[in-house]
Structure 1
Amino acid sequence: MLSGIVFALTAGLMWGLIFVGPLMVPEYPAALQSAGRYVAFGLIALPLAWADRKRLRRLSRADWIEALKLSAVGNLLYYFFLASAIQRTGAPVSTMIIGTLPVVIAVTANLLYGRQEGMLSWWRLTPPLLLILLGLLCVNLAELSAKDEQVDMERYLSGIGMAIIAVICWTWYPLRNARWLRRNLDKKSTTWATAQGIVTLPMALLAYIMVSGQLALTKPDFSLPFGPRPLVFIGLMLAIGLLCSWLGTFCWNQASQRLPTVLVGPLIVFETLSGLTYTFMLRQAWPPLLTLCGIFCLLVGVVGAMRIKPKPIVVKVDTAVQEK
């Protein structure tokens, strides 16, 4: 349990960087940032794949198809919709919607997998989840109260839709990924993270070429292939590709193998906390009191959820078979 929580915390620290990355290069379209990040992830995975080639050869065709599905949904689609939502609705609104992930994942996991892995009591699970939700609302209300801008409703609503799709993507990804890992305990987490990087590379390269072609037609002034600040863009994509994509995925895989699926969801709150911390560091400002209250609620909610023990699974045995 302890090592699983530490790995989940480390993954959250890495993933928190994705909320400040788009703020550092706001002139770059979301699609280009998404494709660039995962091209970097795939390139980083190549030498790792060569070093781990023996274990990668042991993966079956079904394993590679599963890695392809996970990478397409949990990597490219999720980050594209997240970055697009931030650009359309602003970071506070998008973060409020994405921040519901710990609650959505925990509830979904308890509904789908509770009977196989031990059901968490809804009476005991509800208060921590409500605290997490309250904390997320406090943090984002503080952000929204600090802004006073005219909102384009069509753009705003489309951004909300994209944020909801991002939530759906990242509800599906960690649950499916955790189930695969727990059913394949003989597979190393590093190998599985590298496999996802390998299958991501061709998809990301194709996406980068397509986005570049679209930009060449619609924004001829945009410098291609790496934009107006190529060194900053390339360095940022490599950093996010290594820390967020590979290292974050590795740590999350380790946590998924050590913790019940229904308890993995609330730990994604570490990503939100890290993103908030990095954001205020970038602003060089202390968070307001409402934000601090929200962070306190988040932490208390996570601790409360982790203290809940799943109900033991009762296996009924036929008495006639038992007597034989």
Structure 2
Amino acid sequence: MWIGTLYALAAGLMWGLVFLAPLLLPEYPAALQSVGRYLAFGLIALPLAWLDRAALRGLGRADWIEALKLAAVGNLLYYLCLAAAIQRAGAPLPTMIIGTLPVVIALCANRRDGRLPWRRLLPSLALIALGIACVNRVELRALRADPHAEPWRYAQGALLAAGAVACWTWYPLRNADWLRAHPGRSPRTWATAQGVATLPLALAGYALLWLGLAASGSGFAMPFGPRPLFFVGLMAAIGLFASWLGTLCWNEASRRLPTATAGQLIVFETLAALAYAYLHRGRMPEPATLLGIGLLVVGVAWALRARPAASAVADPTP
């Protein structure tokens, strides 16, 4: 249980980095950031795939199709929605909405699996929801005080962030299902397989985006934009740490934890994103934000006390 939690913490710390990229590259289209990140992920996965080629040969056609689906929804579509949301609404609002993921995933997982008694799950969900509400209240107050705020752009950002929540509610449930259905498969191999499956999708997306920008008469400097070295370096760093290594750590956590509990531990991503956002702003969080963070941590600790209910199926042997 604790090893799985440490893996989930490592994944959250690395995934929190993706909230910074749209702030560091405000002049870059969200679509370019999405395909750039996962093009880097796919290229990083190629030498890893060569080293792990024997295990990858053991994956069947159905496994590769599943990896392709996970790559399309959990990687490209998710980050496209998230980056576009941050560019339209700033970091606080998307972080607020993405912060509901632990509650949404836990509810969906427990409704489907029914492995954790609700009376054990609800207290931790309530603490996490209350903590997120405290953090969100501070951020929303700051948004209302901004005289340059554009309500329609914030509404667009909210809708896009909700789309990202939908993508990342589906992804961990589907990913955990595959891992549990294939207990003999290495999580490292599965993370690499998703990287390899991402590469052709990212290449196709990059080509289509380039053609679209050229056809529209955009003055954006393709293929790497006005700051090519910074863009390539940032995409490579995020591709390595947030995509491949983060996926590997999450796969290890998913093998060790009930899906409903693992879903709540995505709160680590929210905490990391808030920490990085305040470091980027160069100031400390307000007291209400610190209270909210404390409630989130307590909620996670409470979630670790929950254990799956024992199976009620009788032993068929005499």
TM-score normalised by length of structure 1 = 0.94
Q: How far off its partner does 1:154 sit? A: 3.7
Alpha-carbon distance in structure 2 between the residues aligned to 1:15 and 1:317? 42
5 Å-filtered alignment, 1:159-308, equals 159-218=157-216, 220-308=218-306
Alpha-carbon distance in structure 2 between the residues aligned to 1:149 and 1:179? 47
Alpha-carbon distance in structure 1 between the residues aligned to 2:133 and 2:212? 37
Question: Alignment partner of 1:146: what SS?
Answer: helix
User: Which digits, 9 at most, give the CA deviation of each residue in 1:63-97, with x for residues without a partner?
Assistant: 10110011100000000011111122222111111
**1:60 matched residue in structure 2:** 60
Q: How far off its partner does 1:128 sit? A: 1.2
Alpha-carbon distance in structure 2 between the residues aligned to 1:159 and 1:276? 17
**2:103 matched residue in structure 1:** 103
Alpha-carbon distance in structure 1 between the residues aligned to 2:250 and 2:78? 16
Q: Which amino acid aligns with 1:144?
A: L
Alpha-carbon distance in structure 1 between the residues aligned to 2:300 and 2:272? 14
5 Å-filtered alignment, 1:33-112, equals 33-112=33-112
**1:16 matched residue in structure 2:** 16
**1:124 matched residue in structure 2:** 120
Q: Which amino acid aligns with 1:230?
A: P
Q: How far off its partner does 1:217 sit? A: 3.3
User: Which digits, 9 at most, give the CA deviation of each residue in 1:87-132, with x for residues without a partner?
Assistant: 2222211111111000000111101112xxxx32222311211111
Q: Which amino acid aligns with 1:211?
A: L
TM-score normalised by length of structure 2 = 0.96
User: Which digits, 9 at most, give the CA deviation of each residue in 1:272-311, with x for residues without a partner?
Assistant: 1111111112222111111100100100111111111222
**1:146 matched residue in structure 2:** 142
Q: Give the conservation status (yes or no) of the 8 Å contact 2:11–2:250.
A: yes
Structure 2 residue runs of 5 or longer lacking an equivalent are: none
Alpha-carbon distance in structure 2 between the residues aligned to 1:182 and 1:202? 27
RMSD: 1.5
Q: Which amino acid aligns with 2:30?
A: A
Q: Which amino acid aligns with 2:42?
A: G
Q: Which amino acid aligns with 2:35?
A: A
Alpha-carbon distance in structure 1 between the residues aligned to 2:151 and 2:294? 33
Q: How far off its partner does 1:221 sit? A: 2.0
Q: How far off its partner does 1:219 sit? A: 5.3
Alpha-carbon distance in structure 1 between the residues aligned to 2:209 and 2:59? 32
Q: Which amino acid aligns with 2:205?
A: A
Q: How far off its partner does 1:151 sit? A: 4.2
Question: Alignment partner of 2:153: what SS?
Answer: helix
Question: Alignment partner of 2:307: what SS?
Answer: coil
Alpha-carbon distance in structure 2 between the residues aligned to 1:105 and 1:141? 22
Alpha-carbon distance in structure 1 between the residues aligned to 2:52 and 2:179? 18
Q: How far off its partner does 1:2 sit? A: 1.2
Question: Alignment partner of 1:313: what SS?
Answer: coil
Alpha-carbon distance in structure 2 between the residues aligned to 1:66 and 1:232? 33
Q: Which amino acid aligns with 1:192?
A: W
Q: How far off its partner does 1:149 sit? A: 3.7
User: Which digits, 9 at most, give the CA deviation of each residue in 1:12-61, with x for residues without a partner?
Assistant: 01100011111111110100000000000000000001111111000011
Alpha-carbon distance in structure 1 between the residues aligned to 2:213 and 2:296? 40
Q: How many residues align?
A: 316
Distance 1:142 1:153, change over 3 A: closer
Alpha-carbon distance in structure 2 between the residues aligned to 1:208 and 1:136? 36
Alpha-carbon distance in structure 1 between the residues aligned to 2:314 and 2:256? 27
Q: How far off its partner does 1:153 sit? A: 4.0
**2:155 matched residue in structure 1:** 157
Structure 1 residue runs of 5 or longer lacking an equivalent are: none
Q: How far off its partner does 1:201 sit? A: 0.4
Alpha-carbon distance in structure 2 between the residues aligned to 1:278 and 1:85? 17
Q: How far off its partner does 1:150 sit? A: 4.4
Alpha-carbon distance in structure 2 between the residues aligned to 1:150 and 1:229? 27
